[in-house]
């Protein structure tokens, strides 16, 4: 391969992510030319609608997949938390790179943390997962819709539209905006989304040569964690219309490295939450995710999903 084109969204964060992969690919094969193909997606354009009501995570990647199918791009770089649990036929997830900090960040110009916020204070987020967990722990707060890129969300906070916002730590770090973070929320405080903090590289499934080349960028531990998390989402419907969180970590044991997977499903108002956690082999992340999903169902997730029509 002498030249590759990466399809990417136009946001500054998406361009940073694509440029990061571009540099790694060019370092991997000297002489390789990698170009970026910035595209606008429906997810970027529909800023006044909730993703769960407008069409889901696929709104962020459909145009990129069209570019690959038409031969205008060879691969696409995604934030894994924006990638649907099941890719369309003909596409493959070639690699998952080393994960950045997967936690959520509390950002406010007025308050140090959620506990310092008075009743009725407004928290901005576009995530049902975040909304449900915040509502469960801080029912007196008002959680409202916040869409747009990272800079837009910070600007809305700065002009007083919100008392606090919650964003992914990884995006802030990658954009050099970490100074805005008042506190990083532990997984016990706010369980992350499947794949949060990780980058995924997608290409056509038929491009076996390209898949083999891209696979060299994969971080095995990060990939195992993300695949376990995504398996939970897939087993429970794989939709952003479900307030679902899943987070896996690697841990050493007497028999070798293992995965520890935690997950939850909540009602949108946070009044009902089903939780599950399980350990499993690093070599079987999808099986572990399926087991945790089944445990969630038995602990009340089935009733929650039924109540919200899923």
Within 10 A of 80 (CB to CB), how many other CB atoms are there?
24
Q: 299: which strand partners?
A: none
Count of all residues that appear for the chain in the document: 310
Out of 44, 52, 74, 82, the active site residue is 82
Number of H helices and number of E strands within the chain? Answer: 11, 13
Does residue 82 have an active-site annotation?
Answer: yes
- Any idea of the CA torsion for 16, 51, 106, 178, to the nearest 10 degrees? 10
DSSP letter (8 states) at residue 180: G
Q: Would strands 122-125 and 164-168 be described as parallel, antiparallel, or unpaired?
A: parallel
End-to-end CA separation in angstroms for the chain: 44
- Tokens at 72, concatenated: 């205008």
* Closest by CA position to 307, among listed 240, 243, 234: 243
Query: Residue 259: which region, alpha, beta or left (left: phi > 0; alpha: psi -120 to 50)?
Result: beta
Q: What stretches of the chain show up as alpha helix (H) in DSSP? A: 12-28, 42-45, 51-54, 62-69, 128-137, 150-158, 169-174, 208-214, 220-235, 285-296, 302-307
DSSP bridge pairs for 249: 260
CB 157 within 8 A of CB 107: yes
CB 69 within 8 A of CB 207: no
Residues designated as active site: 82
């Amino acid at each position: 391969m002498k030249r590759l084109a990466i399809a990417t969204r136009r946001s500054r964060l998406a361009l940073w992510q694509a440029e990061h992969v571009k540099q790694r690919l060019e370092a991997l094969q000297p002489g390789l030319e990698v170009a970026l193909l910035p595209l606008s997606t429906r997810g970027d354009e529909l800023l006044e609608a909730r993703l769960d009501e407008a069409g889901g995570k696929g709104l962020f990647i459909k145009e990129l997949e069209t570019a690959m199918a038409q031969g205008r791009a060879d691969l696409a770089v995604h934030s894994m938390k924006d990638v649907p649990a099941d890719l369309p036929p003909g596409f493959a997830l070639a690699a998952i790179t080393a994960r950045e900090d997967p936690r959520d960040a509390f950002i406010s110009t007025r308050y140090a943390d959620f506990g310092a916020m008075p009743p009725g204070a407004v928290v901005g987020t576009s995530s049902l997962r975040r909304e449900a967990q915040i509502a469960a722990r801080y029912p007196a707060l008002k959680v409202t819709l916040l869409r747009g890129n990272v800079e837009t969300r910070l600007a809305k906070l700065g002009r007083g539209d919100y008392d606090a916002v919650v964003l992914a730590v990884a995006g802030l770090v990658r954009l050099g905006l970490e100074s805005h973070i008042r506190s990083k929320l532990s997984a016990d405080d706010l369980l992350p989304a499947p794949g949060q903090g990780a980058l995924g590289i997608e290409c056509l499934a038929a491009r076996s040569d390209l898949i083999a080349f891209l696979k060299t960028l994969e971080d095995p531990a990060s990939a195992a964690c993300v695949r376990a998390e995504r398996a939970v989402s897939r087993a429970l419907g794989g939709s952003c219309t479900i307030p679902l969180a899943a987070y896996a970590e690697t841990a050493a044991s007497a028999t070798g490295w293992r995965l520890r997977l935690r997950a939850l499903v909540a009602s949108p108002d946070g009044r009902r939450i089903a939780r599950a956690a399980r350990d499993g082999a690093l070599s079987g992340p999808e099986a572990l995710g399926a087991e945790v999903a089944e445990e969630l169902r038995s602990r009340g997730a089935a009733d929650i999903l039924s109540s919200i029509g899923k």
